[in-house]
A and B are shown apart, each in its own frame.
Chain A
């Protein structure tokens, strides 16, 4: 049985009970006579049943992000033995410049500077949105007040010690920005990466994620995220294209 767009539309309408009665009855008769169609409908039914469980989907997505975050930390830890070497290299680079050798080491340091410059050029703090009806809660009001006044450590303490951000994805954006403002791109990445594709804040989270990777001197991950944003084709596409171009130069 050939799978077509029309077939899928019909099956989905049938499962959602939006088919007019006559069409529904005709479709059921067709299913009775065609076991292949019946099987196809059952497959769709199973898929819809599993993925309708949004909580479990979100939980699974969270685990995937945690796994990725831990892997990155482990890779960074494994590379940390080169930290001492790179500190030595920075000192050696100055000397090498004077005596005219080791230009490759200086080039690496320059790349890090360039990433910092790009970050500074493209980053602007996520603005404080007006207090909405749901924000009559004083705790939330105080968090937004702290954020607006630059008291980022308070924002971090408040949000990390509560479950507020789990029910309000917008708060993860504020928390991630607070981490960026306090020179902690690692924890910022965790926040932005945990916002799922179904959230209305997903695109903006991806934008800040790309900048956080840049701040952490991870241009490859930044490029990957920028490509995601471009594919997403939303309001950050143009910005992402520009930054991607500069990063690739």
Chain B
């Protein structure tokens, strides 16, 4: 793939281009799926790692672009493998050797540190997506800074009930996060970038 094509894909990821995202998903998922299933992961881990790696690239493109020393595919695989390697290490699921990552996928230390620091975010978003639709909608509006009155108008409940529902949804989210073994390993408050 040419550098121009790779740049177009990165731009497509940044812009949320549906066609480009879908093609990227299809092209790269088989390899990552095979890798994670072969290395003590399950299907949920495959989706989590793949999506978190894409979010990582999206956020990097938003802040300061990406310098590709090798191909985009190699870069992406490196990010996926570092995420997975970090999670295995935290869960102590298997002995980690450098064989887990190919030499050409070896990622700069600064990127590895960024991946580690973002684990808390990935954890939060993973559990948020498990909430029911109403909870997701309500909390999204809350985190956007909307008042209870504005939220209750959108959701269609009374203000009092909305406040109660908000408490229930947020408490549920916090508890799901706290009960995740990965959260215990991260030991919040997390380190900042």
Which residues of chain A have a CB within 8 Å of any CB of chain B?
3-5, 8-9, 12, 16, 39, 42-43, 46-48, 50-52, 54-64, 66-67, 69-70, 160, 163, 166, 190, 194, 196-198, 200, 202, 228, 231-234
**Chain A residue nearest to B47 in the complex (CB):** A67
B21 within 8 A of A: yes
- Residue from the list A64, A166, A228 in contact with B133, Cβ < 8 A: A228
Contact of A232 among B47, B133, B188 (CB under 8 A): B133
Main secondary structure of the interface of B (DSSP, over half): helix
Q: Is B40 an interface residue (CB 8 A)?
A: no
Per-residue 0/1 for B16-35: is the Cβ within 8 Å of any A Cβ (1 yes, 0 no)? Answer: 11110110011001000000
Chain A residues within an 8 Å CB radius of B58: 56, 59
- Of B64-72, B73-81, B102-110, B164-172, the one contacting chain A is B164-172
Is there an interface contact between B17 and A163, defined as CB atoms closer than 8 Å?
Answer: yes
Closest 6 CB pairs of A and B: A197-B137, A51-B143, A198-B140, A5-B167, A42-B189, A197-B136
- Could you tell me which B residues sit within 8 Å of A by CB distance? 15-19, 21-22, 25-26, 29, 47, 51, 54-55, 58-59, 62, 120-121, 124-125, 128-129, 132-134, 136-137, 139-145, 154-157, 163-164, 166-167, 170-171, 173-174, 188-190
B21 to chain A, nearest CB (A): 6
Q: In whole Å, how far is B53's beta carbon from the nearest beta carbon of chain A?
A: 10
Q: Among the listed B16, B133, B188, which residue makes an inter-chain contact with A43, where contact means beta carbons less than 8 Å apart?
A: B188
Contacts A/B (CB < 8 Å), 30 sampled: A3-B171, A4-B167, A5-B164, A8-B167, A12-B142, A16-B145, A46-B190, A47-B143, A47-B173, A51-B140, A52-B144, A52-B145, A54-B140, A55-B62, A60-B51, A60-B55, A60-B125, A63-B51, A64-B129, A66-B18, A66-B21, A67-B47, A67-B51, A69-B22, A70-B25, A70-B29, A166-B17, A197-B137, A202-B137, A228-B133
> B174 to chain A: which residues have CB within 8 Å?
3, 43, 47
Closest chain A CB from B177 CB (angstroms):
8
Q: Which of A8, A52, A69 contacts B143 (CB 8 A)?
A: A52
The A/B interface has a contact count, at CB < 8 Å, of 118
A46 adjacent to B120 (CB under 8 Å): yes
Closest-CB distance, B150 to chain A (whole angstroms) = 12
Contacts of B139 in A (CB 8 A): 51
User: In the bound complex, how far is the Cα of B58 from the Cα of A43, in angstroms?
Assistant: 25
In the complex, which of the residues B19, B26, B124, B125 has the most CB atoms of chain A within 10 Å of its own CB atom?
Answer: B125
In the complex, are the beta carbons of B16 and A166 less than 8 A apart? yes
User: How far is it, in angstroms, between the C-alpha of A61 and the C-alpha of B131 when the chains are bound?
Assistant: 13
* Distance, CA A231 to CA B133, complexed state (A): 8
| Contact (A48, B143) CB under 8 Å given A56-B55, A60-B55, A60-B125 | yes
A113 CA / B134 CA spacing, docked (Å):
33
A200 to B141, CA, bound (A): 11
